[in-house]
Amino acid sequence: MSVRLARPDLLQFVPYSSARKETAAAGVMLNANESPWPPYAGGEGLNRYPQPQPAALTQRLAQIYAVDEDQLLVGRGSDETIDLLVRGFCRAERDAVLISPPTFGMYRVSAQLQGARLIEVPLRSEQDYAVDAAEIISRAQVEPVKLVFVCSPNNPTGQLANRDDVLRIADALRDRALVVVDEAYVEYARSASYSEALDGRDNLLVLRTLSKAFGLAAARIGCLLGERSIIAFLRGLMAPYPLPQPSVGAALQALDPALDAPRAAQIAATIEQRERLRTALQSHPLVQRIWPSDANFLCVRWNDSAAVARDLADRGIIVRDLSRYPGLDNCLRLSIGSRAENQTLLDALAAIASALAAPEAAEYNG
Ligand SMILES: *Cc1c(COP(=O)(O)O)cnc(C)c1O
């Protein structure tokens, strides 16, 4: 039972007992100091506190992610579940979080907020940002690492982690640390989720989100999948009513099985656009390097990323500057937009390149 790895001072933690947890519903509800009247406008039923883990949503998400309902925690985005993990498992100044930069920034932010130590084992940039499994295992065996975050596909570089490596890390650290695979972009990878590998691995956890492929970033719904005692423990640490009812309602509508086929087509279109953009940029005069991607973005190195970002911004196109990440100097992250948006981007890049090639620009460049 990997919940044994939790902060010892929290193992006897008594969760807040909310009115809605104690009694879900009744004909006359006088137990939560709510207004008996819905608001005058803006939302039927919003006068009542929501269920902490709404049954219909939990059921549907468990079905989509192929786990049991008690193996799944629904949070305000996966960001919240990352934070809960760090708070629940890492004692300040003693326990450590291991990350592999360049990677998603929230693991570091949550670790710092909690005062947890941070151990960095960089991705192997010379090998298309592969996870350094041997180094992760050896560092985690000598340091007080409680959580290992693996982002796959990795934000911001775009590659999947090697499956055997990840499972090897999880198995090697079985009694020492939790291995959390963040699959925010896995829908674009057409590769199996690590939820398939949860059976028999009680220190492996998976993060999923509705913010990317499901198009619900503003609803703030994300999930942690894993061993039941860990999920129950973290549910006890959450805020009493974490999920706003309008978000839950929107998610249930968006997750209607009738929409699975159109959504799959949309994801396929994004993948096709990603490859189209990648091919077009490979031979672009301003591009130095472009990495293969399993996500809905591309990581691209330019001759001068700051100039490209500025010229794109002048044309109303914003992209993410990655040059502050170690090892990603002169890199920009380009999210895959609609077909029309991607064409606007390509047209703008062509115009920027030809402006640079024009005589006055050549003179300007010395
Ligand atoms: C976008 C993203 C998330 C999603 O966070 P939410 O809080 O669910 O919106 C999680 N992990 C990574 C790596 C991301 O890029």
Average pLDDT across the chain, whole number: 94
Distance 209 CA to ligand 1 centre (A): 7
CA–chain centroid gap for 325, Å, is 18
Atom of ligand 1 nearest to the CA of 217: 9
Q: Is the CB of 104 under 6 A from ligand 1?
A: yes
Is residue 234 within 8 Å of residue 7, measured between CB atoms? no
pLDDT score recorded for residue 366: 42
What would the two tokens of residue 230 be?
């860990």
pLDDT score recorded for residue 15: 86
Q: Is the CB of 83 under 6 A from ligand 1?
A: no
Burial class for 148, CB neighbours closer than 10 Å (0-12, 13-18, 19+): buried
Distance 353 CA to ligand 1 centre (A): 33
pLDDT score recorded for residue 20: 82
Q: Is the CB of 77 under 6 A from ligand 1?
A: yes
> In this prediction, what percent of the chain has a pLDDT beyond 70?
98
Nearest CA to ligand 1 atom 3: 184
270-287 per-position pLDDT tens digit: 999 999 999 999 999 999
Distance 296 CA to ligand 1 centre (A): 12
Q: How confident is the model at residue 43 (pLDDT cuts 50, 70, 90)?
A: confident
Nearest CA to ligand 1 atom 6: 77
Distance 349 CA to ligand 1 centre (A): 28
CA separation (Å) from 121 to 11, 98, 144, 158? 30, 7, 14, 18
Q: How confident is the model at residue 333 (pLDDT cuts 50, 70, 90)?
A: very high
Distance 74 CA to ligand 1 centre (A): 14
